[in-house]
Amino acid sequence: MAQTQSSAPSVITVGSRRRATGALIVGVALMNIALVPASAVATLIASDIAGRAWSGVPTAAGVVGTALGALGSATLMRNRGRRAGVLLGYVLAAFGGALATVAVLRGGVLLLTVGIVLLGVGNSSAQLSRYAAADFYPPDRKGFVLSLVVWGGTIGAVLGPSMIAPAAGLSERAGLPPYTGTYLLAMLATGVAAAVNLMLPRSRPQRPQGATRLFERGIGRALRLPTVRIALSGMVAAQLAMVAVMTMTPLQLHEHGHGLGVVGWVLSAHLVGMFALSPLSGRLADRLGGRMTISCGAGVLIASAALATAAPTSHTVGLPLALFLLGYGWNLCFVGGSALLSRDLPEDVRTQLQGLVDAIVWGSGAFASLSAGAIFAGGSYSVLAVLAGLLATTPLVVLAVLRRGHPAPARES
């Protein structure tokens, strides 16, 4: 099979390709089981200790870790292969889970934040692993295959939040603070993820001169490539809207008297939306193209914002449905943009640009987390939802502008 990625294995059989894809899916699932509850619980801890305005800091720290990790992981993957980048990220995440456990025992927010940063680094490896799967397949299957890795997060979406309350109960029975179990779970899950991904095939790294020349000419020039601009418009807008609303939803429910069980249920609905329908998004990206998939995602995000604005306290139907749509709108934009980046970039710059785009996307999420806390404290959850809906219109505007100067091809490759 012809390879389309410089870091792809030189020889790979059908069986090893399937095993590698399976390992990548399992790794993403375990990373979500670790990170999602860890971030949600950290929001509550920060709010209790430092106040509502600081409640978004731990989630922002996780997103910063993901953004910085994306740059580091992409460089490591280009120089040492995809396998090295994935494994190192999961090992650092396990260490982060251990630090967060110690932080809960000692009541230290700073150490907890450091632990969440390292979990975010692990998440960057999990996110970039979708491109590792795409490397093994031809262009007309890349969208679907990378969507399968994103879909692996469904397991974490369902199990992760629902394990917050049981983990707290086990911690209390062991004589530990109730939130300790969440971070012990994170340490265990990411350690297993590292072990599973040892089965990834070793790749032959290359250092293409074209990538060096492009980045020497400036990052700005790289980001002006039409494919990158289209992918960024969808992925960044979706990330901003999704992170802002999702970060404050646990606190919104908490302040209206709902316990951890309700928080877990609503977050599960959201995360099912983020991951469960990924194969459908992948099929759409392969058949209709990344641009159309991003447009559909923007529409779903706008609908989600409208529902959250209309029913900000409905924990039985309104918020679960709004958070589900929020997740699926993000998924459409994320898979559509990723498909463009896996197929339509020059081979010699692909790996670095994928990492750069992921860093920008997750960095924007950090800004959204910090801003969400301030907006929620000074306004309301409905105000936050309205702003998210306005952000979701951005890719539609960008696509319309780019279409005038760069008409979309009849069929995207």
Pair of tokens at residue 67: 């953004």
What is the per-residue pLDDT across 62-94, written as a single tens digit (0 to 9) for each?
878 888 888 888 888 877 878 888 889 999 999
Q: What is the mean pLDDT of the chain?
A: 80
Distances (CA, A) of 64 to 120, 267, 354: 7, 21, 17
pLDDT above 70: percentage of residues in the chain: 83
Pair of tokens at residue 224: 């002006």
What is the per-residue pLDDT across 232-249, written as a single tens digit (0 to 9) for each?
999 999 999 988 888 777
**Alpha carbons 243 and 240: distance in angstroms, whole number:** 6
* pLDDT band, residue 5 (cuts 50/70/90): very low
Residue 12 CB: number of other CB atoms within 10 A? 17
Residue 26 CB: number of other CB atoms within 10 A? 18
* pLDDT band, residue 171 (cuts 50/70/90): confident
Per-residue pLDDT at 7 exceeds 50 = no
The residues, any chain, with a CB within 8 Å of residue 363's CB and separated by 6 or more, are 63, 64, 67
pLDDT above 90: percentage of residues in the chain: 18
* pLDDT band, residue 215 (cuts 50/70/90): low
What is the pLDDT at residue 118? 94
Q: What is the pTM of this model?
A: 0.74
What is the per-residue pLDDT across 244-296, written as a single tens digit (0 to 9) for each?
888 777 777 766 666 666 777 777 788 788 888 889 999 999 898 889 999 99
Distances (CA, A) of 20 to 4, 23, 141, 237, 288: 17, 5, 16, 31, 27
Give helix 14-50 / helix 164-173 axis angle, nearest 10°: 70
Burial class (CB in 10 A: 0-12, 13-18, 19+), 57: buried
For the chain, give percent helix, strand, coil, nearest 5: 85, 0, 15
**Alpha carbons 316 and 190: distance in angstroms, whole number:** 32
